[in-house]
Structure formats: C-alpha cells, structure tokens
C-alpha cells in the first residue's frame, strides 16, 4: 500500500485549492491531485504573443477595501495567500440596441439607437440614484431591495448551522416570506417599475438563471456584494490567485501533484479508501474532497454499482448549467484609440432577463459581455495595445452538429458573430486591430474543466434547486461521510468566491470529522 | 416601503425543502445519457496520446525522410485527431535509456487525418539525438507514440491578412505543405504565396509536390536557391526586395516564417524594412535553443556543472548536468521523464516550480506568465541552470 494521507483533494480548481489549503493549514496530511499542469481550473491565464489573457474572471465581489476587507480578501488573508488586488468601484454598463418596432428608443452616447444605456456606479445610494435617473419612481424600491438583502446576509450565515435555523424566524422575519420567491415576484411586490427591474437584474447571467427563475434572496445577495463596496481583480490575472494558494498549500506541508489525474476511486467496505492516479499509482487516505463535477465523478471514477442510488437520481433530476463561449483579443490599439470607456459592458438583445435567457438557448445570440482589462489594470498589456474579452452564454448541447473538421470554422464563425454584436452596439471598430486572438467554445471549456457541456457553472440554480434548500440539505446530499463535493456544483453555484467558499466548507467539515475520530 | 414586502406570501419555505428531496426520489437511479458533443469533441481533438504505426517511409533527400503514420488500433487509437494546418505533433521516444520528446510539424493536409493518415517529415540534424534516431530506426510497422496536434502557427482569418506570404527554409517547408493542401481542399481560404529557400535544386524538399501545388493555381510557389543559378529559380537569399516582388501592391499581407534559427536572425532584419504591423508577422518556433553563453545578457562566473534535486510526485532524485543544457535536457539525460511539448518555451506544458537556485532564460523564449515570476515558476525546456537547483516537476504525460 502506498503512502497514506488524511485527505486527498481531487482537482485543483478554486474549490479544490480552497479545500486543500484549509486542510493543510489545519495540519492534516493533504494531497491535492490535478490532471492539468497548472492549478486553478478556470482561474488561470495564458500567453499569446505579447499578451497574457485572463481566461474567465470578470471581477470578484467581496474584495472590499483594505480597511474593510470583503469576504474573499478575508478568506485569502486566512489562507495567508499573497494576492495583490486591484479594487474597482463601478459595476456594469447595460446597453440594449433598439430592434425594429421598439418604442422609447434614444441615441446612446456612442451614437447607436438603443432602448437602454445604463452605466451603474457602486454603492447603494449612487446605484439607486442612477436607477431613479434612468427610470423615475424606482429609487425607493431599489433601496428597499438593498435593505432586504442586507438583512438576508445574516440569515444565510445561520442557514449553515442547522441548530440556528429557528432563530432566523425571530431575527430576520422577512426571510420566510422571501424564501422560494423569484426576483421578479419580490421586485413586483416592492413596486419596482419593469424597466428598473431589468437593469437591476443585469447580473442574472453570472449565475445563469433569469428573473422568473432566480431565487430573490440569492440574487439580492449577489448584487449586494457587487454594489456594496465595489469589486476587484488580482493584478497578475487569476493565475496569481491560484499560484498564491498553491504556495501556501506547500508551505503548510501539503503535497500537490500536477499532471496527476484521478482515474478511479478505490472502494473498501462500501466507502472510498483510495484513488488510482493516471491509471497506475494507488494512493490511500481516510477522507476525500472532490472538486470534479458529479456527472463526471460518478461516470468516470466509479463503477455504476458503487454509486449511491441517491447520487444517480440527483444526476437525473438536476439540469446542467449554462456554457460559455469566450473570445480573447490582443489589440494593437489602446482602449482610447478603440473608443472604450468601460471595464464591463453587457450587450443584450432585450432588456428583460427572461428574453435574454431565451435568446441564449442558441449560441449565435445577441447577448455579449465585453471587458477591457486595461480600463482597471493599466499594465494589462504592452504600451500602445489593449486586451479585450468577449463572453456569451448558451444552454445545452450547442455544439451537437459540429464535426472535428468543422471545428476551426465553427470557432471563427461564432467569434466573428460576437465581435459584430459588440461593434454594432458600441459603434466601434475591432476587427482591423486584432493582433492576437484565441477562441474558447464549450468544447474548449470541456477540455480544461472536464464537465458536461463544458459548463463552468455546475447545475442550474432552478427554483426547486436554489441556494436555500441546497445549503440546508448539504450534508444529506453528500455521497459518503468521508467523501464531500466542492466547487460550482455545490450549494452556492458558480463563481470564484462561491467555489472557494465550498472548498473551505468541505475542508472544515473534514477537519472536524478527523478530530472527532470519524 | 417596508410594508410592501408583506404582500409576498409566506408559503414556500417548507415545500421547498421537502419538494427537492421528493424530486430526487422520483428519478431513475442510473447514469444519465451519452456524453454531449462538446465533450466528445474535446476528447477527439485533444487525446492524451496517439498510438500510431509507420505505414510508409518516403526518401525525400539524402538526409530527409517522410513517415506516413496510421492508427495502431491494437494499442487503442482508432482514429486520428483532426488538426488545423500548421500544427505539430510531439514524438515520444526512448533513446539510450533517455525518455525524450521532439516537436515536428505535420506535413500532411488536415483532410488526410480523417482517412487515418498523418505525415511527419524529418531531416537529420548534426548531433541531433532524435532526428538521427528516427532516421536510423523508423521503418514500416514500427510503433510510434505522439501527442495530440499542438501549436498556434495557423492561418487565422480574423487576425491575418487575406494574402499570406509564407517564407520557408530547409525542413521549415513542412507546415506549409500542409497549409497548401488545406487551401487547395478549401479547408483554409487565403491567397498563399510560398517562397522557399534552399541551397540548390537537389536540396529542395517536396519538389514534385510543390510543382503539383503550383499547377493547381490556388497557391503560388517560388523557389529561391542560395548556391545555384538556375533558370526559373530566384537566386540568393530571401530579402525584403524579393518579398516585395511577390507581395500584393495595394493590399495588406501577412508573413509566416518557418525555418532554422539562423534564417530567423537574417529574415527578421529584412522584414523590419517592410514596416508591417506586428500582427502581420508570425513565426513558427525553431526548436531548442543552443549555446546560451553566447547571449549578451548571460551572466559570468557560471559553473560548468550543477546538481538538480527534482521531486516528481512522491519521488525525489538528485542529478548533475551541464549548464550548457536546459533543465529539461539534464533531466532527460539522467533518465528522468519530464513533461514537454514545444521545447521552445512557448506552450508552457513543462511549467514547474523552482524552489531554490537560479536559471537563465533567453529573452526570445520568455513566455512565462506574470504570476510565474512572483511565485518562482519556470519552463524547464528553455531554462538553463546557473546554480544548483531544487525543483518540483509534474509527472511526464
């Protein structure tokens, strides 16, 4: 029998890194196994020519201020991980180009006929004031929505502790009322005008479910965390976060093996007891934390008969979340020369999040987020250049008709489509100045993340499968008492912060179990 | 305003909890349907390794052969990964107890891979470990292990000009043979002019194939001979003047270059005279960097030999090697398999942790990520040791 560890963490995505660093810091003998040669999963970077691209991070909520660090900054301080944050104090700009037959159109500052052009500041008061300016009569409801979110934060903390759930009723009386209601239902009750709701809902895509499905409580917390103190990014792309945590895992005495794919979980007495690495090497441990997507974990690492029945049922009940397509552009012009004024612009075919969601059932849609890293990171690319990345989302098997020989043309076709959407909505010229381009479609995400459809988001946060029941039922949803999942498939869904949180949580439960001798 | 929230009904909390578990209970206890196409494509285009057999050996010149490779079904490779013209394969071999790798451009066209054929064309390099080994030992029926197709030396319609002047030297012709095939097949759509520099008529690789390609009309082939004066051939070296002669007058054009290190040094100066924007000049990598001490920024007082303590998974070994070799070469020469693909710094596949010691990285091969500098990560394939080192390297793959 090979070396025995206390904990083996399968996969060094954000969740796995958070789990491994927490275990190693607590003094557990920890082994982190990763199939790729780098840590981070989505949190990485890549170099093309003279550009280093950010693969996935738009911004992190919860970075906060140096004096008042947000949840993520606090977590990295807990880990002791050294990340140099760039803090950023605006949220988003939403642009909805006019379609034929649209009423209430106007000409945007870029000279494009639009129905919405909303550049939203950070801070509750400034955000609500801007919303009032754009949609008169929306200020009070917007402030009420933020107020509700502020109160819900304490409820979410209590949800983690089963014994404290009853006290939620006393301390946060509106919690029961809000629970299970969608964004649209609650904002309607608060009397927010429809157009203001649409702007308010812009971040729906960060979690992949629209206003008619998205649980209000969770969305309000998401928006709250972005608007409250502004957001942040690591200075050296998200690769900096991943390497900072990698370093701490080693400093605390943990082992990390890259290019080391878990190809099988070894079962003993009906419970996981070890893993096979790259089909040849066996390593044993008493506990496991799995950052691999459950669909892949159960189909690739276990025999079907070894999988607890409930886990198989869960796979069939849950809907795989959205997939992304991203175009990375190294531009041989500065952002000023290109005419960029914002870090993050959401271009949508319609202001209504449900109509955007519907549009995103196809890959070739009118939805695109365009980010210009140079806007908040002045060293994002060499002098005289800039880098952009364009993101759209889609649902389901959008590559179903693509054969290997069509792959390159398919990638170029979707990239050109997305660039056209941005050029038209912002009245700018991108194509002549492309010095480097890379295109990531769902198959690309599949290659690096090893998830069904290439989703980075885990499972869709449907009404019945929202954060509240997921959180309360976390323990009963885990497959074995010594094998816990972490990552985007878990209770808080996708997002760097959520994944790190889930890893830290799984590690905390594992540390407790080991200390109690379980 | 706070009172408005009272109009929301408080009836959802309990049903939400019981409803979710009931939903699970009602499902079938079996694995879901077949994988989706994104998943299938990811596996088909990026296999971990491809197990092949030599099906045919073609003598190209005295010191150059082409090898036609087909799937080795017995070893589990049923079909070949499709690729974009210009990509390379990394070949894995064991030579004199050393596990080594080399990257070779695919010289067959993409369409052939659908019929189960790749072609690699390999020229003997003076003192070249792999090239000599391959030319001496690869024969029909031999098993060969290669990587998935890799690399970024490809035509990109959203980035490159519609007119592309391809400059090839010696065996640097190989990716362009593939590209010309792709243009003729309609898999790529650009106006290709291929300017191919050789010493003399006898040294030209793929001469007959290039004649055929030229006749087709879609690709314009120009031969340049440095040592011979022959009719129908340009004489001398590939210069800015010569490029201008074949470039379109009033339209933008891209330049793609593939050849030996010396050719790049000469051509970079010529191309600079043309004043093209950076985006229109693309280089293929030229392989391993040699003789680091010849570089102006190489430090003095470097010892001749160093020791390297390397940890791979749970095994730690200490080896010694020459400071004239890269960290990767030292490991390989000591029989340690290490991950490698491009061997030119660019792909980052060998990304490793430098825990103690110092290395020299030639500027032209510096493709590390910013955070790699902050946290002490290196690409062993282009890092030359300056002191004793302690490193942590991922297992070979």
pLDDT above 90 covers a percentage of chain B that reads 87
Q: What's the pLDDT score for residue B14? A: 81
Contact B4 A144 (CB under 8 A): yes
pLDDT at position B59 over 70: yes
- pLDDT, residue B35, reads 82
What is the structure's pLDDT at B127?
A: 86
Tell me if A47 and B369 make a contact (CB, 8 A cut-off): yes
pLDDT, tens digit, 9 for 90 and up, residues B30-56: 998 878 899 999 999 999 999 999 999
ipTM: 0.96
- The reported pLDDT for the residue numbered B153 is 97
What angle do the packed helices A239-251 and A14-25 form, to 10 degrees? 20
* Rounded alpha-carbon distances, angstroms, from residue B342 to A258, A395, B88, B168, B338: 19, 35, 9, 19, 13
Asked if residues A12 and A24 have their Cβ atoms less than 8 Å apart, the reply is no
Q: Give the minimum alpha-carbon distance from A102 to chain B in angstroms, rounded to a whole number.
A: 32
d(CA A321, CA B26): 21
Helix A496-515 to helix A71-79 angle (10° resolution) is: 50
Q: Is the dihedral of CA B323, A247, A47, A413 positive or negative?
A: positive
Mutation target to probe the A interface, by most A beta carbons within 10 A, among B369, B378, B397 is B369
H or E stretch at A329: strand A323-331
Residues of A in contact with B39 (CB under 8 A): 443, 446, 452-454
CA A216 to chain centre: 18
- Candidates B39, B28, B15; CA nearest to A314 is B28
pLDDT at B290: 87
pLDDT tens digits, one per residue of A457-468: 999 999 999 999
Give the CATH class of B42-146: mainly beta
**Radius of gyration of chain A from its Cα atoms, rounded to whole angstroms:** 23
Of B371, B394, B397, the CB nearest to A240: B371
Strand partners, A459: A320
Strands (DSSP E) along A355-440, which ranges? 368-372, 386-394, 434-440
Cα–Cα distance between B203 and B201 in angstroms, integer? 6
List the domains of chain A with CATH numbers: 4-49+236-319+457-515 (3.50.50.60), 118-229 (no CATH)
Strands (E), B159-248: 163-169, 191-198, 219-225, 234-235
- Three-state DSSP class for residue A312: helix
**How many A×B Cβ pairs under 8 Å?**
242
B157 contact residues in A (CB cutoff 8 A): 412
What stretches in chain A show pLDDT beneath 70? 1-3
Alpha-carbon distances, residue B98 vs A50, B254, B329, B336 (angstroms): 34, 40, 10, 7
What is the β-pairing status of strands A281-290 and A4-10? Answer: parallel
Give the pairing of strands A113-121 and A106-107: antiparallel
Contact A243/B374, CB-based, under 8 Å? yes
Q: B224 near B237, Cβ under 8 Å?
A: yes
Could you report the per-residue pLDDT of B270-301, keeping only the tens digit for each?
999 999 999 999 999 878 888 999 999 999 99
Contacts of B338 in chain A (CB under 8 A): none
| Residue A434 to residue B158, Cβ atoms within 8 A | yes
- Give the model's pLDDT for residue A2: 56
Bridging pattern class, strands B118-123 and B64-71: antiparallel
Strand partners, B315: B312
Report chain B residues whose CB lies below 8 A from the CB of A408. 84, 154
| Domain B292-392 is found in CATH 3.10.20.30 | yes
Q: What does the angle CA A354 – CA A355 – CA A359 come to, to the nearest 5 degrees?
A: 115
Taking the C-alpha atoms of residue B358 and residue B360, their distance in angstroms, rounded to an integer, is 7
CATH tag, B163-283:
3.40.50.80
> What chain B residue is nearest to A400 in terms of C-alpha separation?
B37
Residue B122: how many CB atoms within 10 A of its CB?
Answer: 24
Please report, rounded to a whole number, the percentage of residues in chain B having pLDDT higher than 70: 99
Distance to chain A for B348, nearest Cα, Å? 9
Going by C-beta distance under 8 Å and a sequence separation of 6 or more, which residues neighbour residue B119?
B66, B67, B68, B69, B106, B107, B108, B112
Interface with chain B: mutation pick from A243, A253, A255, A284, highest number of B CBs within 10 Å:
A243
Q: Which two tokens stand for residue B211?
A: 């004649």
Convert the pLDDT of each residue in B136-179 to its tens digit: 999 999 999 999 999 999 999 999 999 999 999 999 999 999 99
Cα–Cα dist A351/A347, whole Å: 9
Asked if A281's CB is within 8 angstroms of B313's CB, the reply is yes
Closest CA to B221 of B212, B230, B229: B212
Q: What are the tens digits of pLDDT across the range A199-219?
A: 999 999 999 999 999 999 899
Nearest to A153 by CA among A138, A131, A175: A175
Residue A7's beta-bridge partner residues?
A30, A287
What is the nearest CA distance from B315 to chain A, expressed in angstroms?
11
pLDDT at B3 over 70: no
Give per-residue pLDDT as tens, B380-393.
999 999 999 999 99
Domain ranges of chain B: 42-146, 163-283, 292-392
Q: What is the pLDDT of residue B1?
A: 53
SS (H, E, C) A208-269: CCCCCCCEHHHHHHHHHHHHHHCEEEECCCCHHHHHHHHHHHHHCCCEEECCCCEEEEEEEC
So what's the pLDDT on residue A1?
A: 47
């Amino acid at each position: 029998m090979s070396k025995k560890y206390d904990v083996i963490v399968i996969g060094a995505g954000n969740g796995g890194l958070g789990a491994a660093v927490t275990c190693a810091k607590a003094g557990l003998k920890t082994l982190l196994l990763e199939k790729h040669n780098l840590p981070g999963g989505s949190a990485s970077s890549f170099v093309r020519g003279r550009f280093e691209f950010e693969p996935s991070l738009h911004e992190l909520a919860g970075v906060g201020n140096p004096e008042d660090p947000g949840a993520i900054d606090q977590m990295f301080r807990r880990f002791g991980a050294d990340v140099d944050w760039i803090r950023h104090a605006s949220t988003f700009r939403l642009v909805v180009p006019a379609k034929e037959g649209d009423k209430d159109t106007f000409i945007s500052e870029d000279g494009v006929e639009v129905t919405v052009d909303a550049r939203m500041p950070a801070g509750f008061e400034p955000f609500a004031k801007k919303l009032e300016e754009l949609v008169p009569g929306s200020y009070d409801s917007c402030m009420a929505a933020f107020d509700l979110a502020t109160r819900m934060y304490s409820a979410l903390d209590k949800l983690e502790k089963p014994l404290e759930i009853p006290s939620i009723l006393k301390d946060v009386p509106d919690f029961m009322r809000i629970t299970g209601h969608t964004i649209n239902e609650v904002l309607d009750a608060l009397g927010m005008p429809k157009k203001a709701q649409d702007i308010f809902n812009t971040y729906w895509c960060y979690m992949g479910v629209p206003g008619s499905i998205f649980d209000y409580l969770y969305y309000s917390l998401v928006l709250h965390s972005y608007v409250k103190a502004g957001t942040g990014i690591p200075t050296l792309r998200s690769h900096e976060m991943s390497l900072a945590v990698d370093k701490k895992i080693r400093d605390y005495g943990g082992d990390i093996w890259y290019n080391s794919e878990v190809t099988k979980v070894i079962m003993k007495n009906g419970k996981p007891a070890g893993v096979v690495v790259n089909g040849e090497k066996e390593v044993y441990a008493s506990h496991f934390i799995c950052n691999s997507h459950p669909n892949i974990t159960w189909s690739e690492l276990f025999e079907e008969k070894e999988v607890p029945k409930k886990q198989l049922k869960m796979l069939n009940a849950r809907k795989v979340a959205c997939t992304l397509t991203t175009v990375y552009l190294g531009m041989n012009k500065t952002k000023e020369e290109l005419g960029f004024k914002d870090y993050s612009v959401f271009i949508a075919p319609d202001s209504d999040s449900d109509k955007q969601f519907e549009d995103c059932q196809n890959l070739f849609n009118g939805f695109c987020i365009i980010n210009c890293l140079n806007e908040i990171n002045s060293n994002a690319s060499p002098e005289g250049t800039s880098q952009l990345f364009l993101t759209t989302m889609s649902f389901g098997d959008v590559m179903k008709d693509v054969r290997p020989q069509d792959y390159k043309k398919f990638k170029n076709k979707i990239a050109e489509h997305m660039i056209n959407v941005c050029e038209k909505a912002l009245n700018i010229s991108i194509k002549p100045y492309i010095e480097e381009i890379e295109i990531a479609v769902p198959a690309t995400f599949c290659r690096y993340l090893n998830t069904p459809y290439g989703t980075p988001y885990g499972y869709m946060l449907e009404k019945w499968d929202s954060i509240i029941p997921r959180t309360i039922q976390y323990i009963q949803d885990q497959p074995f008492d010594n094998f816990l999942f972490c990552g985007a498939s878990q209770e808080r869904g996708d997002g760097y912060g959520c994944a790190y949180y889930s890893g830290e949580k799984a590690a905390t439960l594992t540390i407790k179990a080991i200390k109690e001798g379980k | 305003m706070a009172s408005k929230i009272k109009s929301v009904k408080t009836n959802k909390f309990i049903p939400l909890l019981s409803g979710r578990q009931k939903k699970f209970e009602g499902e079938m206890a079996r694995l879901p349907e077949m994988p989706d196409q994104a998943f299938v494509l990811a596996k088909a285009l990026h296999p971990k390794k491809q197990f092949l057999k030599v099906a045919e050996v073609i003598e190209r010149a005295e010191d150059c052969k082409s090898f036609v490779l087909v799937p080795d079904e017995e070893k589990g490779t049923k079909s070949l990964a499709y690729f974009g013209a210009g990509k390379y394969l990394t070949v894995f071999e064991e030579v004199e107890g050393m596990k080594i790798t080399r990257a070779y451009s695919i010289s067959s066209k993409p369409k052939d891979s659908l019929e189960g054929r790749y072609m690699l064309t390999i020229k003997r390099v003076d003192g070249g470990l792999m090239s000599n080994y391959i030319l001496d030992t690869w024969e029909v029926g031999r098993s060969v292990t290669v990587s998935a197709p890799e690399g970024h030396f490809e035509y990109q319609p959203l980035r490159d000009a519609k007119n592309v002047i391809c400059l090839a030297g010696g065996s640097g012709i190989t990716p362009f043979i593939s590209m010309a095939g792709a243009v003729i097949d309609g898999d790529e759509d650009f106006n290709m002019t291929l300017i191919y520099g050789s010493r003399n008529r006898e040294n030209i690789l793929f001469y007959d194939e290039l004649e055929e390609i030229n006749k087709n009309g879609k690709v314009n082939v120009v031969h340049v001979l440095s040592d011979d004066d022959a009719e129908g051939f340009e004489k001398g070296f590939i210069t800015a003047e010569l490029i201008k002669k074949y470039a379109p007058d009033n339209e933008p054009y891209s330049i793609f270059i593939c050849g030996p290190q010396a050719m790049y040094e000469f051509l970079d100066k010529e191309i600079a005279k043309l004043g093209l924007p950076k985006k229109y000049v693309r280089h293929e990598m030229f392989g391993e960097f040699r003789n680091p001490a010849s570089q102006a920024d190489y430090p003095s007082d470097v010892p001749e030999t160093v020791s390297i303590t390397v940890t791979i998974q749970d095994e730690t070994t200490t080896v010694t090697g020459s400071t004239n070799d890269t960290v990767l070469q030292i490991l390989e020469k000591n029989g340690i398999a290490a991950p490698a693909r491009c061997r030119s710094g660019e792909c980052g596949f060998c990304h490793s942790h430098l825990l103690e010691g110092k290395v020299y990285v030639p500027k032209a091969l510096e493709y590390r990520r910013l955070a790699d500098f902050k946290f002490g990560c290196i690409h062993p394939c282009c890092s030359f040791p300056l002191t004793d080192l302690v490193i942590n390297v991922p297992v070979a793959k």
